[in-house]
C-alpha cells in the first residue's frame, strides 16, 4: 500500500474539487457531535454519519472507554478531549459507539493474559472489567459468544454513566444543552442500536457501577 499516492489522490481529487469548502473551515471548526469510538479500523464515524470534515470531533481508544471522574488522573488525555469538546466547542451530542467483534471486549474476557502480555492494554481495558464480571455472575450458563455481545453493548452504555460523573457534562445534560447516546454497531449487518442514558440497561448499569465503587474503595 502506497500511502503517499493516497495523499496525492486526496490533493488531486478531493481537495481540488472542494477547495472552497476547505478554505472555509481552515480557521475554525464547529462540530455538532463528539464521537467516542473504538480504535478498531472498521468503525468510521464519518461513514456512519455520512458526515463531512469539521462535523465530528473524535476520541478513539481500545474499547471506547471513558474514565470515571474519580479515576481520571491516570488517563487525562481522554478527559481533556471531552472537556474541550463540551466547554469550548459546545458540542450538542456525545455518542459512545461500541461494535460487534470488538477485540477490546474480547480481551476483557482474558484479562489475566493481557495483563501479562500487553500490560498497557490490560491496564486500560481493566476499567470495564466489572461489566465482564457482572455478566459471569448473572448469566453463568450463557454461551461465551453471547456474553461478549452483551459485554460490547453494556460497555458502550456504561460509558454514558461514566460521562455523567463529570459536572461539566452532567450540568449540560440536565439543562437540555447536551444529548448522550450509546450506539452498538453490528459491522456484518450494518444495523445500529441506539441506547439513551436511561435505557433498558439502566438498572444493570447502576448495579455494575455500585460493584465498581466497592472494588475501587
Whole-number Cα distances in Å, 1 to 6, 7, 40: 9, 12, 19
**Model confidence pLDDT, tens digit, residues 193-202:** 999 887 778 8
Residue 216: band (very low, low, confident or very high) from pLDDT cuts 50, 70, 90: low
Given a cut of 90, is residue 182 above it in pLDDT? yes
Provide mean pLDDT across the span 109-132. 95
Sign of the CA dihedral with 133 first, then 166, 183, and 179 last: positive
Q: Which of 127, 101, 128, 125 is nearest to 113 (CA)?
A: 125
pLDDT of residue 171: 98
In a domain, 12, yes or no: no
Instruction: Kindly state the percentage of the chain with pLDDT values over 90.
Output: 86
Give strand pairing partners of 116. Answer: none
What CATH number corresponds to the domain at position 31? 3.40.1050.10
How many domains, in total, are found in the chain?
1
Q: Which of 57, 81, 85, 98 is nearest to 184 (CA)?
A: 98
pTM summary value: 0.93
CA distance 177 to 17: 36
In a domain, 3, yes or no: no
In a domain, 217, yes or no: no
Amino acid at each position: 500500500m502506497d500511502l503517499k499516492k493516497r495523499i496525492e489522490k486526496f490533493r488531486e481529487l478531493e481537495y481540488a474539487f472542494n477547495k472552497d469548502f476547505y478554505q472555509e473551515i481552515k480557521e475554525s471548526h464547529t462540530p455538532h457531535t463528539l464521537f467516542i469510538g473504538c480504535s478498531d479500523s472498521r468503525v468510521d464515524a464519518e461513514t456512519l454519519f455520512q458526515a463531512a470534515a469539521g462535523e465530528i470531533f473524535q476520541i478513539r481508544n481500545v474499547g471506547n472507554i471513558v474514565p470515571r471522574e474519580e479515576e481520571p488522573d491516570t488517563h487525562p488525555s481522554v478527559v481533556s478531549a471531552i472537556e474541550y469538546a463540551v466547554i469550548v466547542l459546545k458540542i450538542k451530542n456525545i455518542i459512545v459507539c461500541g461494535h460487534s467483534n470488538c477485540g477490546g471486549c474480547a480481551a476483557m474476557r482474558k484479562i489475566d493474559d493481557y495483563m501479562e502480555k500487553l500490560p498497557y492494554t490490560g491496564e486500560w481495558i481493566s476499567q470495564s472489567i466489572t461489566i465482564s464480571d457482572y455478566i459471569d455472575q448473572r448469566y453463568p450458563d450463557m454461551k461465551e459468544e453471547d456474553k461478549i455481545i452483551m459485554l460490547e453493548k453494556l460497555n458502550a452504555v456504561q460509558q454514558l454513566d461514566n460521562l455523567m460523573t463529570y459536572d461539566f457534562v452532567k450540568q449540560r445534560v440536565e439543562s437540555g444543552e447536551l444529548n448522550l447516546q450509546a450506539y452498538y454497531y453490528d459491522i456484518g449487518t450494518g444495523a445500529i442500536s441506539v441506547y439513551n442514558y436511561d435505557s433498558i440497561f439502566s438498572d444493570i448499569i447502576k448495579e455494575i457501577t455500585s460493584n465498581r465503587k466497592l472494588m475501587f474503595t
